[in-house]
Copies of this chain bind each other. A is one copy, B any other.
Amino acid sequence: MLSERRLQVLRAIVQDYVGTEEPVGSKALTERHSLGVSPATVRNDMAALEDEGYIAQPHTSAGRIPTDKGYRLFVDKLAGVKPMTAPERRAIQNFLDGAVDLDDVVARTVRLLAQLTRQVAVVQYPSLTRSTVRHVELLALAPARVMLVLITDTGRVEQRMIDCPAPFGETSLADLRARLNSRVAGRRFADVPQLVEDLADGFDLEDRGTVCTVLSTLLETLVEENEERLMIGGTANLTRFGHDFPLTIRPVLEALEEQVVMLKLLGETQDPGMTVRIGHENAHEGLNSTSIVSVGYGSGGEAVAKLGVVGPTRMDYPGTMGAVRAVARYVGQILAES
């Protein structure tokens, strides 16, 4: 177990390194933080911290920088979440309040997060399967062509074009629409498959083919992997990373463009609370020198999706966590209102 002072030394190292982006030495530490001990003592502590794997030196005879393990300890034990100031909160609310629809909410959230944290922002659309059905609409666009529109209580709207196996009358369509809605409206999307299982039974033989097609399209739309969407922004902030660019930035951009990768990372933990994944804790190789701070958000008590930021492991964790948490709260409020 590390002594109290050694933890303080680690905290000081993290703070300084995050601030200056340069390896921090024993002398500089004692000057900037009043630890009450001499550089020599700090050196001993640093040696111990290095033995334990919390810090490392990039080259012999350079200062120390925190390792992933060091950041982990810092986040878990040494740092809290820095709350937003009142003006910041007001700014967040004002900015989000102007949104006209869900796309707009998500787009604004991304911009906001990117600006607040000066990092790359990632916002997942409310998951269909974790939302509630507000309405299911069927529109006849042609005799044998129907559009299926799903509307969630979070304002998300998904549509699919369906080619029917046989022409489908307007009255049959109205019938199907009514029955469908009476079964699923107000229920959770996750339950829809069971709820509509035997729905086709009540229809004439000639319509049954079309009804089945509609239902299977509906179910396809709800398949977990297809229905997740996300928006990313603030990639220009990647250019603030280090000076060793191309090698660092390239894989990050590639990972960000692979929505599948990002969705998997966000979905790795069901815990709707704040999650911080540091460096190599991220399964994806390209993100080994980045940290991801994410949190669930939702209209009620329940999280319908996640949002977060991707930044260098050397980031201001308390500040970033504060911003992410605050934004998630306000987005939740906005969704509840709509």
| A residues neighboring B (CB under 8 Å) | 100-101, 134-135, 137, 139, 141, 147, 149, 151, 155, 157, 159-161, 233-236, 238-239, 243, 245-246, 249-250, 253-254, 257, 338
Contact = CB atoms under 8 A, between A and B. Distances in A.
Nearest to A153: B141
Specify the main secondary structure of chain A where it touches its partner.
mixed
B151 A141 contact: yes
Nearest to A110: B257
Contacts of A234: 257
Given A235-B257, A257-B233, A257-B236, A155 B161 contact: yes
Contacts of A238: 253
Nearest to A147: B151
B239 A253 contact: yes
21 contacts: A100-B161, A101-B160, A134-B141, A135-B141, A137-B137, A137-B139, A147-B151, A149-B149, A149-B157, A151-B159, A155-B161, A157-B157, A157-B159, A235-B253, A235-B257, A236-B253, A236-B257, A238-B253, A239-B245, A239-B249, A245-B246
A31 B157 CA distance: 61
Contacts of A139: 135, 137, 151
Nearest to A242: B246
A253 to B, nearest CB: 4
Contacts of A250: 236, 239
A137 B100 CA distance: 18
Contacts of A159: 101, 151, 157
A254 B236 CA distance: 6
User: Closest 8 A-B residue pairs measured CB to CB?
Assistant: A236-B253, A239-B250, A236-B254, A157-B159, A245-B245, A239-B246, A235-B253, A245-B246
A233 B161 CA distance: 25
A282 B103 CA distance: 29
Among A134, A135, A253, the one with the most B-chain Cβ atoms within 10 Å of its Cβ is A253
